[in-house]
Homo-oligomer: A and B are copies of this chain.
Amino acid sequence: MHRILLKVAYDGTNYCGWQVQPNGTSIQQVLQAAVEDLVGEKVNLTGASRTDSGVHALCQIAVFDTNKEIEPWKYAYALNQRLPKDIVVRESKEVAADFHPRYRNVVKTYEYKVLNDRMPRPCDRLYTHFVPVKLDLEAMKAAAAYLAGEHDFRSFCSQKSDAVSTVRTIYSIALTEGDNIITLRISGNGFLYNMVRIIAGTLLKVGCGQKTPEYVREALEFPQEKAAGPTAPARGLTLIDISYPDDEGQPVNNNS
């Protein structure tokens, strides 16, 4: 038995999200079908992040177990021949049999992109959220600074969340601007349901002048469900990276 780890990139535009849903096609479903076609057996594909409908990924992590004997690095190439062009396996390797992509010390990085221009740009429409009002980037940066560190993020969490604890740690949060695109980049040890999109929506309210940066500090000090927000649209969000400081980068020897 081999446990194979896949690093998967996708354009989420035409999918109902990562996870299998009753309505719509999910990325997990398409990828699992490609793996089963390749290995010739039923597999159970587990992803590290359940990205929402319309959210993109540059590096989602997924694992499956198989008895098939294929050199681990070859899975990426063999699967890409079986996948539509909006899903790409960028890397494959074998990991320890007890490696689980969700129950590990993890660093997740997301980017949220806003096109802040007078008019939309067609080639950016699927990957940015368009905001025609000129945003105050300095105010947004001041607001974002409050979010760094360990906090109770209940105010930045959708009511749908079933998390036991709403405490999370944000390791870094940064806003940059170039070519009229504002990019929010955020790394943490995990994010609550819709948390990054609610953070983005909150910072946009600050950027528009509807709220002061201190609004964010207050939402952290007095945690209350859905106090912050709104939830910014899915298309602007991309899962950039998932890394496991303790055990990633140590692929198992293929003969183990």
Cβ of A58 within 8 Å of any chain B Cβ, yes or no, is yes
User: Are B85 and A121 interface neighbours, CB within 8 A?
Assistant: no
Cβ of A62 within 8 Å of any chain B Cβ, yes or no, is no
Cβ of A142 within 8 Å of any chain B Cβ, yes or no, is no
Chain A, 214-232, contact with B by CB distance < 8 Å: what is the 0/1 string? 0000000000000000000
Q: How far is the CB of A223 from chain B (nearest CB, A)?
A: 34
Cβ of A118 within 8 Å of any chain B Cβ, yes or no, is yes
Q: How many copies does the complex hold?
A: 2
- The segment from A97-105, A122-130, A205-213 found at the interface with B is A122-130
User: Are A76 and B123 interface neighbours, CB within 8 A?
Assistant: no
User: Are B56 and A88 interface neighbours, CB within 8 A?
Assistant: no
Q: Find A122's partner among B76, B88, B91, B118 (CB 8 Å cutoff).
A: B88
Complex Cα spacing A91 to B117, Å: 12
User: Are A56 and B122 interface neighbours, CB within 8 A?
Assistant: yes
Cβ of A82 within 8 Å of any chain B Cβ, yes or no, is no
Q: How far is the CB of A44 from chain B (nearest CB, A)?
A: 24
Chain A, 74-107, contact with B by CB distance < 8 Å: what is the 0/1 string? 0010001000011111110000000000000000
Known: A58-B123, A87-B122. 10 other contacts (CB 8 A): A9-B120, A9-B121, A9-B122, A10-B122, A11-B122, A76-B119, A80-B119, A85-B122, A88-B120, A123-B238
Q: Which residues on A are within 8 Å of B, measured CB to CB? A: 9-11, 56, 58, 76, 80, 85-91, 118-123, 125-127, 238
